[in-house]
Structure 1
Amino acid sequence: MTRYPLFCALYMDEVKLETTKQGIDANEIITSGHVWAAVWYLAWPTVVNTIIQTAYGIINAIFVGRLHNATDALAAVGIGNTALMIQFGLVIGLSAGTSALVARFIGAGDYEDANAATGQSLLLSVVAGIITGLPLVIFAVPIVRLVGASGSVVPIAADYTAIISWFSIPMFLFVIITSAIRSTGDMRSPLYAGVATIVVNVLFDWLLIFGIGPFAAMGVRGAAISTAITRVVGMLLMFWFLQRSELRGWFRHARWHSDWSGRIMNIGWPAAAQNLLWSTASAGFIKILAMLPAAQVAAAQAALTVSLRIESFAFMPGIAYSIAATPLVGQNLGAGKPDRAEHSAWVATGQAVVIMTAVAILFLVIPRQLALMFTNEFAVVPLIVSYLRINALSEPLLAVNMVLRGALQGAGDTRFPMWTTVGTLWVLRLPLAWVLSIPTGLEATGAWIAMSVTTAVSGIIMAIYFKSGHWRKIRV
């Protein structure tokens, strides 16, 4: 979790479930090799992938920031992405259940059940894509208004949200397959798919946003269409990798099994609820910014959008280590090595803290230069500068929070993170953001302070809980 809160298969009559050499090597490294080496083995492909994803997000923001209506466009994209996060709650829940089960079974050498969990998760993904995508298409306008859009931002944000939502099923399938493959210890296949999809996305962004060659200039709508195309490409690539993995027997299990669905959702529903709470809290945060004086609202919302893009340079490595922590903990628990699971999680946390702190120093030293890379809007730049400086202070504890959540997911412990989200975001962040920004007159700066304080509190709570060892006893 960051501060603020992503067909075709060949049927095989006889699927050989022996692992590939890469799979065997990955499992041995995770459960038997040197812990520091195991952490880095899993983390570096995902670090590279997230850096590439971050670079794309920044390029996208730069493209949108160069439109004639840059302030409205940036605010619309930020609000649209927040509206889409409401949908992501369910995909995160399915991902959590899938990754916890697959990692545990791979660690125990039970490849048949690993395939069964994967097949059931893919079936659930199609259903989830339909039931979450259609409401976002049909009710796009009231949803973006609820999130905080107003005036000229509303039609842009609604159009952006609706176009992307039509392609919900490919997004669900892409995320779930990626989670399953990563849980086997294969981090490279998602990296290759990530590189390919980013190339496609940047290319179509450039063509469709600005109207290059035979294409009409579509602005924000072009960015949405580019994202839709990328979702389909990413899904197809991940199916290709799935058919070449030790999970290629998933197709034999792609039918309804209430027991498997129950096991997946038992782990997944708290993660889904957690993400939904986080997403709605993010929407609430934007709503608080909408309570500022009318002349400041669009600037504050645009500043938040750009600031999160810049900050992603720091927290994307944290996401990478969080992803790595899931198979590290899950496979070692499956192999009957809880001490190694805990040690691996702390090593991953330490590495993430070092990297994210190093990036945070840049936020303190050159925030204005970073802001000017995205926009030169007079009202927006100072707000970006204050955001980066204030939130840089809590970046180390954000790393702790993110990685240990990934570790707990690998253990199948998703309930405590859910309650932590309720406490730190709904009970603490939103009220504090309102108090500091509205009654006290600190405006957007007050909201940034509330964000930084609650991030630090969440990191401390997660560290204390993980140290308690309760997660070792979770059965999946």
Structure 2
Amino acid sequence: MKQIDVKDRSLISLSWPLILTFAVSMIQPMMDSWFLSRTSETAAAGVGAMLPILGALFTALHAFSQSGASIVSQYIGAKQNSHASSTQTMVLFGSILLGIALTLIIYPLSGNIPQWMGLTEAPAEYATQFLSVVSFGFAFRALQTILTALIATHGLTIWNFVGNTLTIATNAALNVVFLEGLFGLPKMGVHGVALATALSWLISSGILWLVLKFKVHHHSKIRDWKRTRVLLPDWIRIGLPAAAEPISFQLFQVFITAMVVYIGTTAMTARVFAGNFAALSVILGVGLGSGNQILVAHLVGAHDYVKANRRVHQTLAVGITSGFLLSVAVALLGEHLLRLYTDNPEVLRLGKICLWCDVAVQPFKAVNFIVTTSLRAAGDSKFPALVGSGMMWTLGLATSLILAFVVGLDLPGLWLGMAADEFYRSFANIWRWKSGRWKSKAVV
């Protein structure tokens, strides 16, 4: 039976494993928060305050990986398989180096970053413990990220789901072992949760490497290194702006977190717990958007712009609807979900309000993810980086601060400010896609 080209596959056939993969990956921070909350709510809040920092770092890794994978997809769509293979070798090696560089930066600063975030005493100590251990796993996280992107771009998305599921199961088991002190080990507390996370990245990257080697049949060759000087400029041209916008978004989240810390520990705890469940609302949108990104890159490589445009509009319709419906469902179940973490009545009250505020965020978040990744897949990554970041730190920031501190809404005001930010940027991104300028940005 003749194998169907990736560009000719349906969105659902590519996306359903990605949806499940993303859903499984969302379990890890939620699971870590749950295990930490068994130690203390202060530990969970302190480590949770570091999530925007880690999010910024991992977003950089993800953006560079997706940019490299999109270039691979364009070459595959153009039937230039030799160039696709050389690009894979380049981005694999480059991503590992990037992960090592992040370790060398973050580990020495693991005691300073919590203080810069405004944490003090016990929360700061817990956050430092977590960062000092988990930072040694960044190279494995980088390898896991690029392997996931490359395997997906070949249409083998089901293997990403299998690999991530095994990893999460291992992570849960290691958390139990390290926190309970099984097999003669000491009870490690926050150090144990961080170590379990780092080891899970190692296991995941090992599994995915085997998939790339034996299912994709990728083998690095001497010619790959010779082509690096030709291929690298395109990766940098697309990758740097692609990383800039999501990093800017994560830094914006860091600023919002610092404002939450200023409001108080109760608000910080409520944001961490509510944020874990709010993330469930983006599962379908991110999964479908990731599948759409693969299709768009392959179609742009084949110069089939009409079909690429149609794919984006179809994905938007499903992503917006799913984001809204899932966020409403999470808000309705808010108290029951939050009680998995806490019985503190004030944390429960604030958390429920934030989950209802999140209903206003999710439809526009779906638009931004789908359109931005489509622009990057086509090679047009500068627009969302420059315009998106500019709007975020002007209109978005101003709205957040006004609602929180001028109107006096505090934590809900900051959350509604994030909704306004997504709203502003969604219109700019849609305008850019409709303009059609992305058609001239392709690598091939």
TM-score normalised over the length of structure 1: 0.88
Q: Who is 2:274 aligned against?
A: 307
Deviation at 1:172, TM superposition (A): 0.9
Cα deviations by residue, 1:264-286 (Å, 9 ceiling, x for unpaired): 11110001212221221111111
Matches within 5 A, 1:203-242: 203-212=173-182, 214-242=184-212
Partner of 2:8: 32
Cα gap change, 1:137/1:244 in structure 2, threshold over 3 Å: closer, same or farther? same
Q: Note the alpha carbon deviations across 1:276-330, whole angstroms, 9 max, x for none.
A: 21221111111111222xxxx2221222211121012111222211211111101
Contact 2:18/2:157, CA 8 A, preserved across alignment: yes
CA contact (8 A) 1:119 1:252 kept: no
Q: Say if 2:240 is the partner of 1:262.
A: no
Q: Which amino acid aligns with 2:174?
A: F
Cα distance in structure 2, aligned partners of 1:252 and 1:200: 36
SS in 1 for 2:49: helix
Q: Could you tell me which residue of structure 1 aligns to residue 54 of structure 2?
A: 84
1:52 corresponding residue in structure 2: 24
Tell me what 1:271 maps to: 242
Residues 364 and 305 (structure 1 numbering): CA distance in 2 closer, same or farther, change over 3 Å? closer
For 2:270, the aligned partner's letter is A
With over 3 angstroms needed to count, the CA separation of the structure-2 counterparts of 1:420 and 1:74, relative to structure 1, is farther
2:397 counterpart letter in structure 1: L
Q: CA 1:148–1:339 in 2, change beyond 3 Å: closer, same or farther?
A: farther
Give the match for residue 148 of structure 2. 178
Q: Indicate conservation of the 8 Å contact 1:89/1:274, yes or no.
A: no
User: What is the rounded CA distance, in whole Å, between the counterparts of 1:335 and 1:166 in structure 2?
Assistant: 41
CA distance in 1 between counterparts of 2:289 and 2:220 reads 25
Which of the residues 395, 406, 422 maps onto 2:389?
422
Q: Name the residue aligned to 2:296.
A: 329
Supply the distance in 1 between the matched residues of 2:373 and 2:60 (Cα, whole angstroms): 17
Gaps of 5+ in 1: 1-20
For residue 380 of structure 1, give the secondary structure of its aligned residue in structure 2: helix
More helix by share: 2
CA shift for structure 1 position 332: 0.8
Aligned pair in 2 of structure 1 residues 159, 247: CA closer, same or farther (>3 Å)? same
Q: Is the deviation greater in 56-65 or in 198-207?
A: 56-65
Partner of 1:199: 169
Q: Give the 3-state SS of the residue equivalent to 1:327 in structure 2.
A: helix
CA distance in 1, matches of 2:390, 2:399: 12
CA–CA distance in structure 1, aligned partners of residues 16 and 273 of structure 2 = 26
- Whole-angstrom CA distance in 2 between matches of 1:364 and 1:51: 18
Q: How far does residue 149 in structure 1 lie from its aligned partner after superposition?
A: 2.2
Instruction: Quickly say closer, same or farther: Cα 1:397–1:279, change in 2 above 3 A.
Output: closer
State the distance in 2 between where 1:400 and 1:177 align: 26
Q: Distance in 2 between matches of 1:356 and 1:281?
A: 22
Change (3 A) 1:377 1:394: same
Structure 1 consecutive aligned stretches of length 4 or more whose deviation exceeds 4 Å: 251-254
Moved more, 89-98 or 191-200: 89-98
Are 1:126 and 2:96 matched, yes or no? Answer: yes
> Which residue of the partner structure matches residue 111 of structure 1?
81
CA deviation after TM superposition for structure 1 residue 26, in Å: 4.8
Structure 2 residue 348 is matched with structure 1 residue 376 = no
One-letter amino acid of the structure 2 residue matched with residue 55 of structure 1: I
Return the letter of the residue paired with 1:51: A
TM-score, L = length of structure 2? 0.94
- Name the CA shift for 1:32/1:85 in 2 (closer, same or farther; >3 Å): closer
Amino acid across the alignment from 2:392: L
Matched-pair contact (CA < 8 Å) for 1:39–1:347: no
Q: Give aligned-pair identity as a percent.
A: 20
The amino acid of 1:122's aligned partner reads L
Aligned residues: 442
Higher relative contact order (CA 8 A, sep 6+): 1
Q: Aligned partners of 2:278, 2:285: CA distance in 1, in Å?
A: 11
State which of 400, 403, 407 in structure 1 corresponds to 2:370: 403
Q: Using the TM superposition, give the Cα deviation of residue 247 of structure 1 relative to its aligned residue in structure 2, in angstroms.
A: 5.4
- RMSD, aligned CA: 2.0
2:320 corresponds to 1:353 = yes
Work out the CA distance in 2 between the residues paired with 1:228 and 1:55: 15
**Which deviates more from structure 2 when the two are superposed, residues 247-256 or residues 213-222?**
247-256
Can you list the C-alpha shifts for 1:169-219, whole angstroms capped at 9, x where unaligned?
111111111111211222111111111111111111222234345333222
Distance change (3 Å), C-alpha of 1:421 and 1:213: farther
Kept after mapping to 2: 8 A contact 1:318/1:356 = yes
Cα distance in 1 between the residues matched to 2:29 and 2:137: 19
Find the aligned partners of 2:348 and 2:361 in 1 and give their Cα distance. 21
Q: Deviations over 1:327-348 (max 9, x none)?
A: 1101011122110111112212
Q: Which residue of 1 aligns with 2:252?
A: 281
Cα distance per residue 1:209-234 (max 9 Å; x no partner): 34345333222221101001101101
8 Å CA contact retained: 1:93, 1:265: no
Letter in 2 for 1:306: F
Question: What's the counterpart of residue 455 of structure 1?
Answer: 422
The match for 2:113 is 143
Change (3 A) 1:360 1:261: same
Q: For 2:132 and 2:54, locate their aligned partners in 1 and report how far apart those are by CA, in whole Å.
A: 9
Question: 2:132 maps to what in 1?
Answer: 162
Q: Aligned partner of 1:147: which letter?
A: M
Query: Matched residue of 2:50: which SS?
Result: helix
Q: Which amino acid is the alignment partner of residue 339 of structure 1?
A: V
Number of the residue aligned with 1:362: 329
Q: CA–CA distance in 2 between the matches of 1:251 and 1:214?
A: 46
- Report SS of the residue matched to 2:343: coil
Tell me how far apart the structure 1 counterparts of residues 223 and 123 of structure 2 sit (CA, whole Å): 45
Counterparts of 1:363 and 1:316, CA distance in 2: 12
Q: Structure 1 residues 223, 140: closer, same or farther in 2, change over 3 A?
A: same
C-alpha spacing 1:49/1:453, structure 2 compared with 1 (3 Å): same
Distance change in 2, residues 1:229/1:364 (3 Å): closer
Deviation string for 1:370-403 (max 9, x for gaps)? 2222221233111111110011123222211111
What is residue 3 of structure 1 aligned with on the other side? none
Q: Is the 8 A contact 1:123 1:254 kept in 2?
A: no
